Structure 1
Amino acid sequence: MTRIVSGTAKGRTLKVPANGTRPTSDRVREALFSRLDHLGYVTDCEVLDLYAGSGALGLEAASRGASFVQLVEHAKGAVNAIRENSRTLGLDVVVDNAKVETWLAREPNRRFDLVFLDPPYALGEEDLARALQLLTPHLEHDAMVIVERSSRSPEPTWPAQLEREDERSWGDTRAWSAVVRPATTKVEA
């Protein structure tokens, strides 16, 4: 059973699609969000949840006070579950039924402070690297990106704009975080 860990919807159960998704466990979400809350990356932040699945990460962010939450998921059954969860929990989120690469290839209409990528474990490393590259125009100058994969997966190939910040493991789950590299300023002679 998947539940919201904290915030306005704390303890409420999430509907999870019958197949095709692998919701982030309550334990992993609790650890991730505890750290993110401590770093100031949830409350009043704009959050993007890619490969959203059941929507557990994005809905957790909304419950904890994110100012805007955008979820992107391709599987229609998962999109329906996210929309039902949003209504049932009274959490205001935006859900797009789209392939992640297609959605990211669009011209950004907003920039995000926090981004979750929790792709299917079968997604190839090259596809993940492409999604991370396409993501960069959608990021705020101090954004954090979290990638969740199998503990057997290699570290993602980060685009030049992102710098790995941390790596954590919980059983079969590994999460990497990266932050936008600080802009370098030219010093005139």
Structure 2
Amino acid sequence: MRIIAGEYRGRRLASVGKGDPGAHLRPTTDRVRESLFNTLAGGRFGDPISGARVLDLFAGTGALGLEALSRGAEHVTLVDDGRAAGKLIRENIQTLGCKAACKVIARDATRLPQADTACGLIFLDPPYGKDLGGQALAVAQAGGWIAPEALIVWEEEAAQEAPAGFNLLDHKRYGDTWISFLQVQ
């Protein structure tokens, strides 16, 4: 795994190999991440990255949030309660030297604390098939994490429908991975 573009382009991230099923680590592949960020940069959703505050729920290695930071986001909050994930996130932040622009919350994404500042770009990559994405999204919204008109990028094994309070903008399929794009109503 590596950062695809931006300030940290080409930098290698800590690898979990094919993932760690016991810890529910299933990193987004470089290819899917590159396609996703090309979609985000394509203008269809405006410019959701430049200067954004980013929330990366179920962050795993932190690759999605750190890619956004590399491409011009102002700050990223990475949330994951896994020990292995926490270690990988901290290692990746150190590798990139971006600690000042990052906050790590070692907590279950469905039990977030109250936000200091709302975020305009939300990455949501829950363990597949566990029905945790909708719960985390509801908690994030109730906790003030989601700014008005924020873009939510939800990665799952199947296309997701928009929960109450959100509009579905699009679905994209990348092999076994589905990305659903949502926005606050």
TM over 0.5: yes
CA shift at 1:31, angstroms? 1.4
8 Å CA contact 2:56, 2:79 repeated in 1: yes
Contact 2:159–2:171 (Cα < 8 Å) also in 1: no
Alignment of 1:84 onto 2:84: no
CA distance in 2: counterparts of 1:154 and 1:46, whole angstroms: 25
Aligned residues: 173
User: 1:30 aligned to 2:34?
Assistant: yes
Choose which of 108, 112, 117 in structure 2 pairs with 1:110: 117
Counterpart residue number, 2:175: 171
Q: Which runs of 5+ in 2 are unaligned?
A: none
Q: Among 128, 136, 158, which residue is 1:131 paired with?
A: 136
Shift of 1:12: 1.1
Q: Deviations over 1:128-150 (max 9, x none)?
A: 22222222232111100011011
Question: In 1, distance between residues paired with 2:48 and 2:183?
Answer: 11
TM-score normalised by length of structure 2: 0.88
Aligned residues with identical type, % of pairs? 37
SS at match of 1:11: coil
SS in structure 2 of the partner of residue 165 of structure 1: strand
Tell me which residue corresponds to 1:62.
Answer: 69
3-state secondary structure, aligned to 2:111: helix
Q: Deviations over 1:28-85 (max 9, x none)?
A: 1111112222320011000000000011101101111101100001111111111111
- Residue aligning to 2:166: 162
Give unpaired runs (5+ residues) of structure 1: 182-189
Per-residue CA shift, 1:6-33, capped at 9, x if unaligned?
0111111110346231111111111111
Query: Secondary structure at 2:110's aligned position in 1?
Result: helix
Partner of 2:109: 100
Q: Distance in 2 between matches of 1:121 and 1:176?
A: 14
Q: Quick check: which has more Rg, 1 or 2?
A: 1
How far has the Cα of 1:154 moved from its partner? Answer: 4.9
The answer (yes or no) to whether the contact 2:125–2:133 under 8 Å persists in 1 is: no
Between the aligned partners of 2:160 and 2:89, the Cα distance in structure 1 is 28
Q: State the shift of 1:162 in Å.
A: 0.9
Tell me the distance in 2 between the aligned counterparts of 1:168 and 1:27.
14
